[in-house]
Structure 1
Amino acid sequence: MRNRNTKRDGLYSGDKTRAEVKDLHSRILVAIRSAETISERIEKLRDEELQPQLIELLHGLMRNWQIMLESHETQNRIMFEVKSFNCPTYGKFCNDSHRLATLQLVAELHNWRSCFVAFLCSQKSYIEALSGWLAKFIAPEVELCSKKRSSAPTLRVNGPPLLATCHEWLASLEKLPKEAVSCALKSFGKDMRALWVQQGEEQKHKRKVDGLAKELERKVLAFQRTESRILGSKLSEKDIEVNVRNRIEYLAERKNMLDMLRKRIDAEKLKHITVMEQTQQITVKGFQTGFYSVFGSLVEFSKASIKMYADLVTYCETTKVPEKEDEDEPSYVEEMSSYLWG
């Protein structure tokens, strides 16, 4: 427009161009003022509603982990004091219901670990989403250049305090001892699966002993019937000496076989008792060590979480919202207007 006025391309054309530019400038100012009004409403919503609600959320999370800390400390103390189990079924032969319960415990431990990881991931995703939205309040530096002026006034807007809180929150989340909890749950799950395998071995030995006992019972009955038949049969005087000797040897051989089977059963029973004792030891040690490790790691995680939320509450409450620019200073609209028409 200024070039046209300088070159005197036509008074009417210059006036028309000036009028069009003024009209466009007026529309731009209206749009900017409208955007500023909407932005102020959003900022008010952010500072007067979102920030207090976020502080309330942090307080709630802190109280939640305080309750969790008390519970985990009690659970940890109980498992530390456990030396043996006094339930009615403890010390008896393992059955299918025991193995099913162990398998269900393995599944619950896996689900517990998955929920713990999902909780942390959800919290991280929430903070990242909130941080991304708050980052939109940071305006980039604006520079307008012309031949006469090296640059227009530069607009700098500081980020909202909540954005810094989110950054602190994300950084603090990474420092939580979450790996210790996850590893403890995973290790406990492996120990319980090993217990499930051990219970299977115990059942295998039990079935073997029961099978041999039934076999012995059948052979004893067969021996008794044979013995009764032989002793009750009549022999001629001519065959008495030879047959009696043969029958006695036959009965003695069958009896020796029964004695050998009894010894084998006793040996298998001893093996079964040994396996059963191993199962009981694994049960006590596995439960005590596993739960103690899990609850111990959760105690430390709870303490770290409480400290994290307390620090975030303090940080959030002490961080002030940036003060508005002095009314005596020209606004962005005034600066742009002065730049275009100055």
Structure 2
Amino acid sequence: MSEVNSVKCPSNGTLCNDSNQVATRMLEKELLNWRTRFASYVSSQKAYVKALDRWLAKLDDAETESKLKSKGVNPSSLAICRHWSDGLDKLPYQAVTGAIKSFVKDVRALRDQQHKERRQKREVDKLARRLRRENFLQETDLKEQMRTEKKKLHTITQKMQDIAVNGFQTQFSEVFGSMAKFFDSMAELFSKSATKKSGRPSKNARRTRVKAIDR
């Protein structure tokens, strides 16, 4: 998308035909679905890790490392899960959902311009038919009206071009850029969490943690 510099927007209304309007609606639908699925992915990750953290935090404070291991729990899992849970809340997921939301706004603006272009093209076509039927005395006024309506059509088409090229180019870059940063941050979080030592917190710290999670 960053290599796209221009797009030809013909004045014959091909950008507002049925197939292009259907494509615009489909793009909007897919973006909304993408945003929903991404938000669901983040929520499920948080829910899973917090549930695991809650279970580990509620283990008997008095249990020794040997007892934890007998239950199949590595003491370092406590520190790993805690770091993982805290880190998930700090990931830049809102930048992704915000970028997609902004993209949807541009798609809807394009859809609105497509409707306007279609209406304006019908007006121009109607005047063209009248010009073919009317006599010479009325022709001058109709031609002036035709020039005015064609100018309006050109303005609408130019707005569509701006959205389709400049807007979409920017929005695609924002969406994929924010997603790249999100997953880079997640990969870094996983890497740091995996290197966490056991370092079991104190008894009071663990109880405080349990109370905070239960809230």
What range is the shorter-chain TM-score in?
A: 0.7 to 0.9
Q: Please name the residue that 2:87 is paired with.
A: 172
Following the alignment from structure 2 to structure 1, what is the Cα–Cα distance between the partners of residues 150 and 60? 81
Following the alignment from structure 1 to structure 2, what is the Cα–Cα distance between the partners of residues 122 and 157? 31
Q: Partner amino acid for 2:163?
A: I
Kept after mapping to 2: 8 A contact 1:131/1:163: yes
Kept after mapping to 1: 8 A contact 2:28/2:104: yes
Identity %: 40
Q: 1:178 Cα shift?
A: 0.9
1:135 equivalent to 2:50? Answer no
Q: Please name the residue that 1:275 is paired with.
A: 156
Superposed, 1:215-294 pairs within 5 Å as: 215-219=130-134, 223=135, 255-294=136-175
Q: 1:181 Cα shift?
A: 0.9
1:309 equivalent to 2:151? Answer no
Superposed, 1:2-17 pairs within 5 Å as: none
Q: Secondary structure at the match of 2:60?
A: coil
4+ residue runs over 6 A deviation: none
CA deviation string 1:220-245 (max 9, x = no partner): xxx4xxxxxxxxxxxxxxxxxxxxxx
Q: Partner amino acid for 1:283?
A: A
Q: Please name the residue that 1:107 is paired with.
A: 29
* Gap runs ≥5 in structure 1: 1-78, 141-154, 224-254, 322-342
Alignment partner for residue 299 of structure 1, among 165, 180, 205?
180
Following the alignment from structure 1 to structure 2, what is the Cα–Cα distance between the partners of residues 272 and 311? 57
Q: Please name the residue that 2:45 is paired with.
A: 123
Task: Tell me the TM-score normalised to structure 1 length.
Answer: 0.51
Q: Which has the larger radius of gyration?
A: 1
Following the alignment from structure 2 to structure 1, what is the Cα–Cα distance between the partners of residues 28 and 179? 18
Following the alignment from structure 1 to structure 2, what is the Cα–Cα distance between the partners of residues 275 and 304? 42
Would you say how many aligned residue pairs link Structure 1 and Structure 2? 189
CA deviation string 1:39-96 (max 9, x = no partner): xxxxxxxxxxxxxxxxxxxxxxxxxxxxxxxxxxxxxxxx22221247xxx5352212
Kept after mapping to 2: 8 A contact 1:109/1:189: yes
Q: Partner amino acid for 1:131?
A: D
Q: Once superposed, what is the RMSD of the aligned Cα atoms?
A: 2.2
Q: Secondary structure at the match of 1:80?
A: coil
Task: Tell me the TM-score normalised to structure 2 length.
Answer: 0.79
Q: Partner amino acid for 1:124?
A: K
Q: Partner amino acid for 2:42?
A: L
Alignment partner for residue 107 of structure 2, among 192, 202, 205?
192
Higher RCO structure, 1 or 2 (CA under 8 Å, sep 6+): 2
